[in-house]
Amino acid sequence: MVARNYAIKNLVPSKDILIEEQSRITQENILYATKIAKNNEISSVILVSDPLHMKRAMLMAKDYGFKAYFSPTPTSKYITLKSKLLFLAREVFYYIGYQIYRLL
């Protein structure tokens, strides 16, 4: 809802905002968003996410047939070096795991 409120505050009409609320993981988010886009005749999207998460999200979007552009957030909830390194390690782990999964 934060993104929705931000968009409305910046003059995006609420009728033009589509929200995916079923997912629990990135891959589900991309899958459900693909369905929403198709149902609304949307051919391209902008992915907004943490900069360290963007590579995996963009790969998944490509795999699901999204014409996607990326817009990493200028800020992150990972502020300290330790938290950034832990999140980066997590992303590398999941990126490699997804690379293997997509080959199956």
Q: pLDDT digits over 8-64, tens only? A: 999 999 999 999 999 999 999 999 999 999 999 998 998 989 999 999 999 999 999
pTM: 0.82
| C-alpha to C-alpha distance for 35 and 45, rounded to whole angstroms | 12
| C-alpha to C-alpha distance for 12 and 104, rounded to whole angstroms | 41
Helix (H, G, I), strand (E, B) or coil at 67: strand
Q: Which domain holds residue 36?
A: 2-103
Residue 76 is predicted with a pLDDT of: 87
Helix (H, G, I), strand (E, B) or coil at 49: strand
Q: How many domains does the chain have?
A: 1
